[in-house]
């Protein structure tokens, strides 16, 4: 008969294994690009979305106070138009995203960056559009890539890993709304959502899903290759643009994008006939 302490240890290990198994899931459908990896999602989607909204609201308030929040004009309308077409396609990967409160923010700053937070909170900087002279197809593939990160819950996955490693506490994640503690916790969560580099696997998933979204919305997916070539040229051997610091870009990636085209090109051609 096993000693009591050994039985207790085995029971705890079994409970832990059960929790981890339950936390491994995939919240997206594979689409034609075939993304179906199981993910570690220990922290609830509602918690991550709530924290991300605090950070998004702070970002917009600061931009507005600095006179940098763009809420009208041709650039803003272009972003809204592209976002609207992409949003109509998100159901191919997850039905619930059709009901997200999608929002678009444009900040006037010479920064080459864009993001999409949990729950559909899209941010672009004018520097990205102007410096790279982006056309609508190029905006769509960048935005589709960022939307894919949100759909695939890569940020939630990063936060869950941090929680599993005790880098984030339960107390921080359950901080009371509108409290100083929640703002501090939201800033911690933002580090895992936006600042840490995504893994090559996550980037590959976002590339594929983003291309599919763009193609289904009627935007030329080949624009993705042009965008990454522009990004590489923009860095020109100097300090990488902020966008590149969290989005690894190299010849291999461009080749990988090219390899995805046969899967998404028929969707683009079909969209043009509708």
Distance CA 187, CA 222 (A): 36
CB-CB neighbours of 235 under 10 Å: 15
Strands (E), the chain: 24-25, 39-40, 69-70, 103-107, 114-117, 121-125
List 49, 146, 153, 203, catalytic entry:
146
Distance CA 97, CA 46 (A): 13
| The 103-107 sheet, strands edge to edge | 69-70, 103-107, 121-125, 114-117
CA atoms within 13 A on the CB side of 216: 22
Inter-residue contact 151 to 87 (CB < 8 Å):
no
3-state secondary structure of 250: coil
Residue 146 known to be catalytic? yes
Active site residues: 146
């Amino acid at each position: 008969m096993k000693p009591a302490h050994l039985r207790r240890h085995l029971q705890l290990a079994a409970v832990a294994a059960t929790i981890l198994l339950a936390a491994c899931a995939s919240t997206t459908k594979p689409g034609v690009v075939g993304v179906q990896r199981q993910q570690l999602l220990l922290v609830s989607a509602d918690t991550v979305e709530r924290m991300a909204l605090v950070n998004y609201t702070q970002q917009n308030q600061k931009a507005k106070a600095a006179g940098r929040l763009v809420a009208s004009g041709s650039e803003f309308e272009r972003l809204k138009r592209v976002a609207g077409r992409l949003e109509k396609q998100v159901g191919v990967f997850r039905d619930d995203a059709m009901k997200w409160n999608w929002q678009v923010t444009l900040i006037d700053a010479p920064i080459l960056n864009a993001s999409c937070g949990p729950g559909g909170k899209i941010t672009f900087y004018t520097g990205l559009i102007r410096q790279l002279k982006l056309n609508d197809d190029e905006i769509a593939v960048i935005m589709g890539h960022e939307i894919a990160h949100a759909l695939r819950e890569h940020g939630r996955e990063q936060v869950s890993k941090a929680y599993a490693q005790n880098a984030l506490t339960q107390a921080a994640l359950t901080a009371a709304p509108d409290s100083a503690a929640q703002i501090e916790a939201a800033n911690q969560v933002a580090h895992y959502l936006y600042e840490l580099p995504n893994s090559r696997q996550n980037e590959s998933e976002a590339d594929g899903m983003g291309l599919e979204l763009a193609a289904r919305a009627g935007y030329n997916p080949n624009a993705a290759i042009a965008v990454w070539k522009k990004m590489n040229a923009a860095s020109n051997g100097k300090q990488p643009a902020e966008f590149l610091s969290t989005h690894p870009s190299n010849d291999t990636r461009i080749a990988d994008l090219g390899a995805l085209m046969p899967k998404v090109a028929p969707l683009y051609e079909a969209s043009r006939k509708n």
